Chains A and B, each alone.
Chain A
Amino acid sequence: MSTAVTTAESIHRRRHYLNADYGIRSWLLTTDHKRIALLYLFSITFFFALGGLFAVLIRLELLTPAGDMMTSDTYNKVFTMHGIMMVFFFLIPSVPATLGNFLIPMMIGARDLAFPKLNLASWYLFMVGGMFAMYSVVTGGIDTGWTFYTPFSTTYSNTKVIPAALGILIAGFSSIFTGLNFIVTVHRMRAPGLTWFRLPLFVWANYAASLIMVLGTPVLAITIVLVFLERAFHIGIFDPRLGGDPILFQHLFWFYSHPAVYIMILPSMGVMSELISAFSRKRIFGYTFVAFSSVAIAVFGFLVWGHHMFVSGQSVYAAMVFSILSYLVAIPSAVKVFNWTATLYKGSVSYQTPMLYAFGFLGLFTIGGLTGLFLAALGVDVHVTDTYFVVAHFHYIMVGGVIMGYLGGLHFWWPKITGRLYPEGWAKLSALVIFLGFNLTFFPQFVLGYLGMPRRYHAYPEEFQVLNVMSSAGASILAVGYLLPLFYLLWSMRYGPEAGPNPFDARGLEWQMASPPPTHNFEQVPIVSEEAYAYHTAQEVPVAG
Chain B
Amino acid sequence: MQDSHTTAAHHPAFQHHFETMEQQRQASTLGMWLFLITEILFFGGMFTVYLVYRNWYFASFAAGSLTLDVTLGTFNTVVLIGSSLTMALAVHGAETGKRGMLVGFLILTILLGATFLGVKAVEYTHKFEEHHVPGPSFRFGSEELRHFHEEATMLRSTQIHGVELGEVQLFFSLYFAMTGMHALHMIIGIGVLSVLVWKARHGRYSPEYFAPVEYAGLYWHFVDIVWIFLFPLLYLITRHVGVHP
Instruction: A359 to B217: give the CA distance in the assembly, Å.
Output: 51
- Give per-residue flags for B1-28: 1 if the beta carbon is below 8 A from chain A beta carbons, else 0: 1001000000000011111000100111
Name which of B45-53, B96-104, B105-113, B191-199 contacts chain A: B45-53
Residue among A181, A218, A524 having the largest count of chain B Cβ atoms under 10 Å = A218
Nearest to A252 among chain B residues (CB) is B45
From known contacts A214-B34, A243-B164, infer whether A236 and B134 are also in contact, taking CB-CB under 8 Å: yes
Residues of B within 8 A of A525 (CB): 4, 19
From known contacts A180-B34, A237-B49, infer whether A243 and B42 are also in contact, taking CB-CB under 8 Å: no
Q: Identify B31's interface contact among A114, A215, A217, CB under 8 A.
A: A114
B167 interfacial contact with A, CB 8 Å = yes
Name which of A66-74, A182-190, A313-321, A537-545 contacts chain B: A182-190
Interface residues of B in 17-66 (CB under 8 A from A): 17-19, 23, 26-28, 30-31, 34-35, 37-39, 41-46, 48-49, 52-53, 57, 60
Instruction: A176 to B37: give the CA distance in the assembly, Å.
Output: 11
- Give per-residue flags for A222-252: 1 if the beta carbon is below 8 A from chain B beta carbons, else 0: 1101100110011111000111110010001
Task: Determine whether the beta carbon of B170 is less than 8 Å from that of A237.
Answer: yes
Task: Determine whether the beta carbon of A524 is less than 8 Å from that of B177.
Answer: no
Interface residues on chain B, number (Cβ under 8 Å): 44
From known contacts A214-B38, A236-B170, infer whether A243 and B60 are also in contact, taking CB-CB under 8 Å: yes
**Nearest CB on B from A102, distance (A):** 15
Task: Determine whether the beta carbon of B177 is less than 8 Å from that of A184.
Answer: no
Instruction: A226 to B50: give the CA distance in the assembly, Å.
Output: 12
Task: Determine whether the beta carbon of B42 is less than 8 Å from that of A221.
Answer: yes
From known contacts A214-B37, A215-B37, infer whether A184 and B169 are also in contact, taking CB-CB under 8 Å: no
Instruction: A530 to B146: give the CA distance in the assembly, Å.
Output: 77
Task: Determine whether the beta carbon of A234 is less than 8 Å from that of B136.
Answer: yes
Residues of B within 8 A of A114 (CB): 27-28, 31
Residues of A within 8 A of B52 (CB): 245, 248
Interface residues of A in 142-195 (CB under 8 A from B): 176, 180-181, 183-185, 187-189
A112 interfacial contact with B, CB 8 Å = yes
Task: Determine whether the beta carbon of B134 is less than 8 Å from that of A520.
Answer: no
Residues of B within 8 A of A230 (CB): 173
Residues of B within 8 A of A229 (CB): 173, 177
B166 interfacial contact with A, CB 8 Å = yes
B218 interfacial contact with A, CB 8 Å = no
Residues of B within 8 A of A36 (CB): none
| Chain A contact residues, majority secondary structure | helix
Task: Determine whether the beta carbon of B57 is less than 8 Å from that of A243.
Answer: yes
B155 interfacial contact with A, CB 8 Å = no
B245 interfacial contact with A, CB 8 Å = no
- Give per-residue flags for B138-182: 1 if the beta carbon is below 8 A from chain A beta carbons, else 0: 000000000000000000000000001011011011101100010
Q: Identify B177's interface contact among A110, A221, A237, CB under 8 A.
A: A237
| Chain B contact residues, majority secondary structure | helix
From known contacts A110-B17, A184-B34, A248-B52, infer whether A236 and B169 are also in contact, taking CB-CB under 8 Å: yes
B203 interfacial contact with A, CB 8 Å = no
**Nearest CB on B from A111, distance (A):** 4
Residues of A within 8 A of B44 (CB): 218-219, 222
Interface residues on chain A, number (Cβ under 8 Å): 44
Nearest to A220 among chain B residues (CB) is B45
Residue among B27, B34, B174 having the largest count of chain A Cβ atoms under 10 Å = B34
Q: Identify B170's interface contact among A233, A243, A252, CB under 8 A.
A: A243
Residues of B within 8 A of A237 (CB): 49, 170, 173-174, 177
**Nearest CB on A from B139, distance (A):** 14
Task: Determine whether the beta carbon of A241 is less than 8 Å from that of B166.
Answer: yes
Nearest to B42 among chain A residues (CB) is A218
Instruction: A218 to B169: give the CA distance in the assembly, Å.
Output: 25
Q: Sort A-B residue pairs by CB-CB distance and give the 9 closest, nearest first.
A: A222-B45, A235-B173, A112-B17, A218-B41, A111-B17, A218-B42, A243-B167, A235-B134, A242-B166
Taking A114-B31, A525-B4 as given, write out 5 further A-B residue pairs in contact, using a Cβ cutoff of 8 Å, ordered by the A residue number.
A183-B34, A184-B30, A185-B27, A219-B44, A223-B45
A-B contact pairs, 11 of them (CB 8 A): A115-B31, A189-B23, A218-B44, A219-B41, A219-B42, A233-B134, A236-B173, A237-B49, A243-B167, A244-B170, A245-B52
